[in-house]
Structure 1
Amino acid sequence: MNSLKIQITQNENKNEKTPSEQLVFGTKFTDHMFIADYTEGQGWHDHRIVPYQPITLDPSASILHYGQTVFEGMKAYLSEDGSIRLFRPEENMRRMNNSCDRLSMPHIDEDLALEALKQLIELDKEWIPSEQGTSLYIRPFMIATEAHLGVSASKTYSFIIIMSPVGSYYKEGIHPVKILVENEYVRAVAGGTGTAKTAGNYASSLKAQEVADREGYSQVLWLDGIERKYIEEVGSMNVFFKIDGEVVTPALNGSILDGITRKSIIALLKHWGVPVTERKVSMEEIREAYLNGKLDEAFGTGTAAVISPIGELRWKGELFYVNNGETGELSKKLYNALTGIQKGTVEDPFGWIVEIK
C-alpha cells in the first residue's frame, strides 16, 4: 500500500444493528469494508472503502486451490469518555507481514494499513457497542486472486478489512473450561506455517476439535509434532501454567504463534514482579506438578477471550483438576488488568493504546 488516498462509497442501505445482549461472535458485520488490490510490478492500488458486500473471484483464483491467505484478529473498544481505543494495532500489522513472508505474499505498508483501518472505524463507529465486555472485532485479511492453476505464488492479491460487533466472550464472567490433550493429530511443526496466521492452520485443527466436542471438552491442548511430548497451544490460543508460584509458557519455537495477548501477559507479569519464564513445557511436567499439588493455575490467552482459565485437563485417560476447577486469582487479575487497559478504566503504563478521537 503506497497511498493514503482512499475512495469512499457510502452504504445507502444501512444494516439493522443487533442488541448487545444478542450479539454472536462473527455473524453480524458493519456497513462498510476496506479493500486494496495488488498487482505485481504495480504494487498496491485502488484503495477504497465500499459497502460490505460479497467478493467476486474467478473459479481458478489461487486462494481457492492453494490456500494463499493470511489474516489478523484485533478489536476496537469504546471508552467511558467516548474515545475509540485500539489495543497494540501496530503489532497486528507487523505480524501480518510476518505471515505474508511465510506465504510468499506481498507486504502491506503497516502505517498506511493502520490509517485505512482508522478511516473505516471512523465511518462505522456507531457500530461499536458500549456495554461491558463488548467490542468491535476487526478482521484484516489478504487473499491471492490470480486466475491461474499453476502451483506458484500469485501475482495479484486483495487486502480487505471487515468488522463485526461482538458481545462478551463470557456471559457471566470468566470461568474455567475443560481441555482434552491431543495425542493423535498435530497442529503444526517447526518449519511449517504454525507461526503464521493462515487459514490452513485452522482447517487442520477442526478434526481434533470435533473429537473434543463429542467428549465434552471445550478445546484441544496441542503437543509438539515430533515427540508428542511438549505443549504448544490450546485451541487457537497460547497457554500459560502457574507452577509452584512461577508462571511458565511454551517458548516460541517456529511452530507456535507469537500471540499479542501472550506478549502483553508476559509484560504485565514482569511489571508486577511475578516470575515468568518462556521455555519448553512437557505434559509429564504438568502431570508431576498436579500430583505434587504445585499446579496452581492454567489459562489460555488470545484476542477473543483475553484470558480463558483451564479447570480440567485430560491426558491419556488421567484427569487433572486445576485449582479445584475454579478461576485462579492471577487469572482474574490479568483479565481485569488487560480488559481495563483496553477499555480505559485502568492506567496503561506501556503505551499500548492507540486512540481514535
Structure 2
Amino acid sequence: MAITQITSDTIESVLPAPLTVPVPAELDASKLEIDLASELKAVPPASELTFGQVMTDHMMIAHYDPVNGWSAPQIKPYGSLSVDPASSCLQYATNAFEGMKAYLGPDGKPRLFRPQMNMQRMETSGGRLALPPFDTNELLKLIKKLVLIEQRWIPTVPGHSLYLRPTIIGTRSSLGVAASDRATLYVICSPTGPFFRTGPKPIALFAVGEHVRSWPGGTGGYKLSLNYASTFRPQQVAAKLGYDQCLWLLNGTIAEAGAMNVFVVLKRDDGALEVATPPLDGTILPGVTRASILELVAAHPSKTTLPGLDPSIVLHPAERTMTMADLTEWSEEGRLLEVFAVGTAAVVAAVGRIGYEGKDIVLPAHEGALGPVARGMYDRVTAIQDGRFDWQDWCVKCE
C-alpha cells in the first residue's frame, strides 16, 4: 500500500484561508472632507458678544465605530447632531471636552495658545471615560484648518477671541452599563468677549463646603461634562446671595473658584511675594492658564520682568494646600495681598471678597480691579496670546 507523505504545504492546501480582520482606521486629517456653507452668517459686533452664545458657520466632526474605526473627518456647516435616545452620552455622561482660544496676531495670522496641553488633557479625559482613543496630533491639524476657515470670526478687539470647544461623546446605543465603543468627535467655535460682565470691579466668591465639586479618586482632575452639572444649583444660591462664583471647598480645603483655578498672593517675611495655588492632587483640573501663570511667576525677574512689576520684587511660585482658616489668618495679619482666578475663558479675574460662614474676607482694593501681580499676569499672558510678546513658543500659528 502506497503511503502519502504529508507536508506542511499539503496541510495548508486543505485548510481554509485565514480570516482577514480589518484594522479600525485611525483619525486621519489628510482624509478631511470640506463642505462649506452656501450662505455665511453676519458676524455680530464685538460689543454684543456674550460667552458661548453665538456659533460660527462651520464645525468639524468625525465618527467612530468598532469595526471601521474613525470616519473621514468633515468640516461642514454648523448644525444639530443626531444621537440615539439610548446613547451613552445621554444616559451615562460619557462626554469630555476642551476649552481653547484662537487669536489674530500682528501679522494677521490666527494662532493658538499652548494647544498641545489641551490635546494632552483631552486624551487623558477621554481615557478616563474609556472612550475610543484617537491621535490628538491629527485633531490639532483639523482644529487649525477649521480656524483658518473661520478666521473672519476672530475678533480684533483687545480682550476678545474665538473660543474653541473640541468635544468627544460616547454614542453606544444601549442601556447596558458599559464603556461606549462608539463615539462622535467634533469641534465648534464661538466668538467671545470678556467672560465676566462685571466691568472693572473684581468678582465675589461664596465659599461652599456642603456641596463638594470634586473628591479624591474622583474625576476633578479631568475635563468631563459630568463635573459641571452638580455645580449649577450651588451657583444659583451664591448668585442670590450676591456672589459671582462659588469657591469650592473639600473639608475646608480650597479647591477651585467656579470653573477656574485660584491663586493667592502672600507677603513673605523677607519682603518677597509668594504666588500660591492648590496642588494637583486629583481634585484640581490641570489648567493651561494655571501652568502658564506658575511658569511666568518662576521667570520673574530672572528671565523676564512682568508688566507693572519692579524687577526688585521677587516672586516665588508655590503649590500648597490652603484652607479658609489660612485665608482668614493671612487676611487678619495683612499678608493676603491678592486673590485671583484663572482659566481659558476669563484669563485672569480679580477677587474682591470671599463669603464664608456669614462673613466676608475683603481683599485690598486696587485701581482697575486687578492687583499688581494679577495685572502683570493678565497683561503678559494676553500679550503672548495675541502675538505681541514672544515667549517659549507658547503660540502656535494656524498654517
Same fold (TM over 0.5): yes
Provide the residue aligned with 1:76 in structure 2.
Answer: 102
Provide the residue aligned with 1:18 in structure 2.
Answer: 44
Deviations 1:142-183 (A, max 9, x none): 011111111111111000000011123356865311111002
Quick check: 2:99–2:164 contact (8 Å CA) kept in 1?
yes
- Matched ranges for 1:177-216 at <5 A: 177-216=203-242
Provide the residue aligned with 2:376 in structure 1.
Answer: 333
Provide the residue aligned with 1:269 in structure 2.
Answer: 297
Shift of 1:128: 1.1
The TM-score with structure 2 as length reference comes to: 0.86
Provide the residue aligned with 1:101 in structure 2.
Answer: 127
The TM-score with structure 1 as length reference comes to: 0.96
Structure 1: how far apart are the matches of 2:158 and 2:199? 11
Which has the larger Rg?
2
Letter in 2 for 1:243: L
Structure 2: how far apart are the matches of 1:96 and 1:9? 26
Measured on the aligned residues, the alpha-carbon RMSD in Å equals 1.4
Quick check: 1:32–1:50 contact (8 Å CA) kept in 2?
yes
> Which 5+ residue runs of structure 1 have no aligned equivalent?
none
Identity %: 39
- Matched ranges for 1:1-357 at <5 A: 1-3=26-28, 4-169=30-195, 175-224=201-250, 228-244=251-267, 245-273=273-301, 274-324=315-365, 326-348=369-391, 350-357=392-399
Quick check: 2:61–2:184 contact (8 Å CA) kept in 1?
yes
Quick check: 1:135–1:166 contact (8 Å CA) kept in 2?
yes
Shift of 1:38: 1.0
Structure 2: how far apart are the matches of 1:12 and 1:294? 60
Structure 2: how far apart are the matches of 1:139 and 1:146? 22
Structure 1: how far apart are the matches of 2:365 and 2:377? 19
Structure 1: how far apart are the matches of 2:134 and 2:56? 23
Structure 1: how far apart are the matches of 2:362 and 2:134? 45
Shift of 1:41: 4.1
Instruction: State the secondary structure of the residue aligned to 1:14.
Output: coil
Deviations 1:30-51 (A, max 9, x none): 1110011111243222211111
Letter in 2 for 1:270: A
Structure 1: how far apart are the matches of 2:129 and 2:253? 26
Letter in 1 for 2:232: L
Deviations 1:238-268 (A, max 9, x none): 0000111211110011111000000000000
Quick check: 1:11–1:50 contact (8 Å CA) kept in 2?
yes
Deviations 1:259-315 (A, max 9, x none): 000000000000104101101111111110001111000000000110011110111
How many equivalent residue pairs?
353
Quick check: 2:132–2:182 contact (8 Å CA) kept in 1?
no
Instruction: State the secondary structure of the residue aligned to 2:206.
Output: strand
